Structure 1
Amino acid sequence: MTEHNTVQRVLPHVFLIVAMVILLFPIWIVFIASTHTNAEILSAPMPLAPGSHFLENYSRAILEGNKNLGTSALTMLKNSLIMALGISIGKIVISLLAAFAIVFFNFKLRKFCFWAIFITLMLPVEVRIMPTYKVVSDLGLLNTYAGLILPMVVSATAVFLFRQFFMTVPREIAEASQIDGASPMQFFWRILLPMTRTPISAMFVIQFIYGWNQYLWPLLITTKQEYYTILIGINRMLSGADVLVEWQIVMATTLLALLPPALVVVVMQKQFIAGMTDREK
């Protein structure tokens, strides 16, 4: 019986360790490659220990970038950060207000408005992307931050999740605020918003990673290097090179691209977990 209990305790940890090694090994290879010269990376066998060109490769990636790209990782990281923050904050603000109106205001087309928003989840991105591109192009928003952000700030998923949370708020709270003379926006700002902090935190993490990982939309509307996001830049390093790919710069840029979303998850993991568990309850 004791041996059986020991196996039950040890086996999950073994699986976790194996899974962690499988997940982290590619990242380790990327890090190793980013510390060597291109010749060392292309030699057989590839080294599995860190090299001596860490500072050289990362300083060049951050400040200069790839020779064939013409822009630095710092510029691309800035563009990705602006896009991710714009999308996440914009989605949260719009979705909060939409969910607030649907739940706490009585008007004839309330249910119709909700289902009209919800049904957009059934439309594939491919169906919407070309009409959206046409609108953005006609408005002159190609190669602009507004063009990168505005078409992505409406989220039926976020509206649905905030609506579900607001529906758990007792009606007596809204009625009590009305009796005390609070306006709808005062109720929203002073009472409802503080109660929604954990769902907002969880949604921010999800939407930040969603915005950071956007590839297809920036690929369509950015033709100028100064508006490349980090994912577009990495793709251009690999596909647009007329000479040998500088793998050490590509790998350094790739590792830099992992840091902001990883930092957001690490810093906000408690709020994220609390928001998800509160929502499930």
Structure 2
Amino acid sequence: MIGQSPIRTFIAHAVLILGVLVVAFPIYYVLVASTHSLQTILRPPLPLVPGDQGWANYSTALFGGVGRIGGVAVGTLLFNSTVVALGIAIGKIIISLLSAYAIVFFRFPGRMVFFWLIFITLMLPVEVRILPTYKVMVDLNLIDTYTGLILPLIASATATLLFRQFFMTIPGELVEAARVDGAGPWRFFRDILLPLSRTNIAALFVILFIYGWTQYLWPLLVTNRSDMNTIVIALRKMISFADADTQWHLVMVTCVLAILPPVLVVVLMQRWFVRGLVETEK
């Protein structure tokens, strides 16, 4: 900043660097531990430099299977988590787009009543309605299925509200011009609203993907088979109360692999994510 003294600049940078180190060191520690053998991890102190067991540990976890989670490979868990996270993110965005589009651009009786009913569901998270939701999944034979993992979580009042607020900023002249050009409701939605909503969709996708990836309670209830577990559920099952019964080198590998997809999504979509949060001129 203009007029900032060198001492204040140094202190600000020192605080920022300290904060980064505090956040990054546990991740680095897990990464280093994933390259050492179980014996090395159980014999403290753990070295702070990578070991020579990285390839063996990652190969065993990804393809060989882990005993404490029914011999399922971590690669299967990653696939399950990816399907669930993508299904939740894409499903929430599609439903929220369509519901916000209907509320803003269509005139029908009870339009605002439906909007407020959707808005009220913000006070009803999945933990509140988990018993009736689980009963419905059992009755529909959706236990241990991707549909059962995804379907109860794809409605989003927050995303509907955000899209509604954005759609309300669309000038009425643009709607009239599209109508004069002969654009029907579907064409107007596809050719005009979707391109204008790209940054909002990207920002919400990042948030919702991470939301789906980190789900714990619902996948824990709706999955009984080990091969349908998500990686977050499997991590908890891999840890025993006794250190000797826990394959800590594989736990550390699983931790690293569980972190990578959300980090990749944020890094690859960072520009769109920031634009979607801060851009005001559409």
TM-score normalized by the length of structure 2: 0.95
Distance in 2 between residues matched to 1:119 and 1:100, nearest whole Å: 19
Please report how far the alpha carbon of residue 31 of structure 1 lies from its aligned counterpart in structure 2 after TM superposition: 0.8
AA partner of residue 43 (structure 2): S
Distance in 1 between residues matched to 2:16 and 2:281, nearest whole Å: 25
AA partner of residue 115 (structure 1): W
Please report how far the alpha carbon of residue 67 of structure 1 lies from its aligned counterpart in structure 2 after TM superposition: 2.1
AA partner of residue 215 (structure 2): Q
Matching of residues 249-260 of structure 1 within 5 Å: 249-260=250-261
Match for residue 73 of structure 1?
A: 74
Matching of residues 143-222 of structure 1 within 5 Å: 143-222=144-223
Kindly indicate whether the alpha-carbon contact (under 8 Å) linking 1:165 and 1:279 is maintained by their aligned counterparts in 2.
no
Kindly indicate whether the alpha-carbon contact (under 8 Å) linking 1:199 and 1:279 is maintained by their aligned counterparts in 2.
no
Kindly indicate whether the alpha-carbon contact (under 8 Å) linking 2:126 and 2:153 is maintained by their aligned counterparts in 1.
no
Match for residue 271 of structure 2?
A: 270
AA partner of residue 205 (structure 1): V
Match for residue 110 of structure 1?
A: 111
What SS class does the counterpart of residue 126 from structure 1 fall into? Answer: coil
What SS class does the counterpart of residue 127 from structure 2 fall into? Answer: helix
Match for residue 29 of structure 2?
A: 29
Matching of residues 115-154 of structure 1 within 5 Å: 115-154=116-155
Of 10-19 and 201-210, the range deviating more from structure 2? 10-19
Of 27-36 and 138-147, the range deviating more from structure 2? 27-36
Runs (5+) with no aligned partner, structure 2:
none
Distance in 2 between residues matched to 1:142 and 1:239, nearest whole Å: 26
Kindly indicate whether the alpha-carbon contact (under 8 Å) linking 1:37 and 1:53 is maintained by their aligned counterparts in 2.
yes
Distance in 1 between residues matched to 2:220 and 2:162, nearest whole Å: 29
What SS class does the counterpart of residue 68 from structure 2 fall into? Answer: coil
Distance in 2 between residues matched to 1:64 and 1:273, nearest whole Å: 39
Distance in 1 between residues matched to 2:83 and 2:3, nearest whole Å: 55
Distance 1:44 1:280, change over 3 A: farther
Distance in 1 between residues matched to 2:175 and 2:241, nearest whole Å: 58
Distance 1:241 1:186, change over 3 A: farther
AA partner of residue 27 (structure 2): I
Distance in 1 between residues matched to 2:125 and 2:83, nearest whole Å: 25
Distance 1:130 1:105, change over 3 A: same
AA partner of residue 261 (structure 2): P
Please report how far the alpha carbon of residue 239 of structure 1 lies from its aligned counterpart in structure 2 after TM superposition: 4.0
Matched, 1:92 2:66: no
Please report how far the alpha carbon of residue 12 of structure 1 lies from its aligned counterpart in structure 2 after TM superposition: 1.7
Distance 1:104 1:3, change over 3 A: closer
Percent of matched pairs sharing the same residue? 54
Match for residue 53 of structure 1?
A: 53
Runs (5+) with no aligned partner, structure 1:
none
Of 238-247 and 211-220, the range deviating more from structure 2? 238-247
Please report how far the alpha carbon of residue 206 of structure 1 lies from its aligned counterpart in structure 2 after TM superposition: 0.5
Instruction: Give RMSD over aligned pairs.
Output: 1.9
Kindly indicate whether the alpha-carbon contact (under 8 Å) linking 1:234 and 1:253 is maintained by their aligned counterparts in 2.
yes
**Corresponding residue pairs, total:** 280
Kindly indicate whether the alpha-carbon contact (under 8 Å) linking 1:68 and 1:241 is maintained by their aligned counterparts in 2.
no
Distance in 2 between residues matched to 1:81 and 1:110, nearest whole Å: 35
Distance 1:191 1:280, change over 3 A: closer
What SS class does the counterpart of residue 67 from structure 2 fall into? Answer: coil
Of 12-21 and 123-132, the range deviating more from structure 2? 123-132
Q: What are the Cα deviations for residues 103-147 of structure 1, in whole angstroms up to 9, with x where unaligned?
A: 001112111111000001012432211111111111000000000
What SS class does the counterpart of residue 52 from structure 1 fall into? Answer: coil
Distance in 2 between residues matched to 1:222 and 1:41, nearest whole Å: 31
Please report how far the alpha carbon of residue 3 of structure 1 lies from its aligned counterpart in structure 2 after TM superposition: 10
TM-score normalized by the length of structure 1: 0.96
What SS class does the counterpart of residue 279 from structure 2 fall into? Answer: helix
Match for residue 62 of structure 1?
A: 62
Distance in 2 between residues matched to 1:54 and 1:94, nearest whole Å: 43
What SS class does the counterpart of residue 10 from structure 2 fall into? Answer: helix
What SS class does the counterpart of residue 150 from structure 1 fall into? Answer: helix
Distance in 1 between residues matched to 2:175 and 2:93, nearest whole Å: 21
